Amino acid sequence: MRNEQNAETLLNEDNEKIIEAVNLSLEKYRFEEAI
Protein backbone atom coordinates (compact mmCIF):
# COMPACT_ATOMS: atom_id res chain seq x y z
CA MET A 1 0.00 0.00 0.00
CA ARG A 2 2.80 2.38 0.91
CA ASN A 3 4.57 1.84 -2.41
CA GLU A 4 1.39 2.66 -4.30
CA GLN A 5 1.05 5.94 -2.40
CA ASN A 6 4.67 6.83 -3.09
CA ALA A 7 4.25 6.08 -6.78
CA GLU A 8 1.11 8.22 -6.88
CA THR A 9 2.91 11.09 -5.14
CA LEU A 10 5.80 10.90 -7.60
CA LEU A 11 3.36 10.80 -10.49
CA ASN A 12 1.55 13.89 -9.17
CA GLU A 13 4.84 15.74 -8.76
CA ASP A 14 5.86 14.83 -12.31
CA ASN A 15 2.48 16.00 -13.60
CA GLU A 16 2.87 19.32 -11.81
CA LYS A 17 6.31 19.80 -13.38
CA ILE A 18 4.91 18.96 -16.81
CA ILE A 19 2.00 21.38 -16.34
CA GLU A 20 4.42 24.12 -15.27
CA ALA A 21 6.58 23.50 -18.33
CA VAL A 22 3.56 23.57 -20.63
CA ASN A 23 2.30 26.79 -19.05
CA LEU A 24 5.71 28.41 -19.48
CA SER A 25 5.83 27.30 -23.11
CA LEU A 26 2.35 28.71 -23.70
CA GLU A 27 3.27 32.04 -22.13
CA LYS A 28 6.43 32.24 -24.21
CA TYR A 29 4.48 31.37 -27.36
CA ARG A 30 1.81 33.99 -26.64
CA PHE A 31 4.49 36.56 -25.88
CA GLU A 32 6.25 35.87 -29.19
CA GLU A 33 2.92 35.96 -31.05
CA ALA A 34 2.19 39.38 -29.57
CA ILE A 35 5.39 40.87 -30.96
* Mean pLDDT (10-residue bins), the chain, 35 residues: 86 96 95 84
Cα 29 to Cα 20: distance, rounded to the nearest angstrom = 14
Cα 14 to Cα 16: distance, rounded to the nearest angstrom = 5
The domain in which residue 25 lies consists of 1-35
Burial 20-33 (b: 16+ CB within 10 A, else e): eeeeeeeeeeeeee
Domain count, the chain: 1
Cα 32 to Cα 35: distance, rounded to the nearest angstrom = 5
pLDDT for the residue numbered 35: 72
pLDDT for the residue numbered 1: 60
Is the entire prediction scored with pTM above 0.85? no
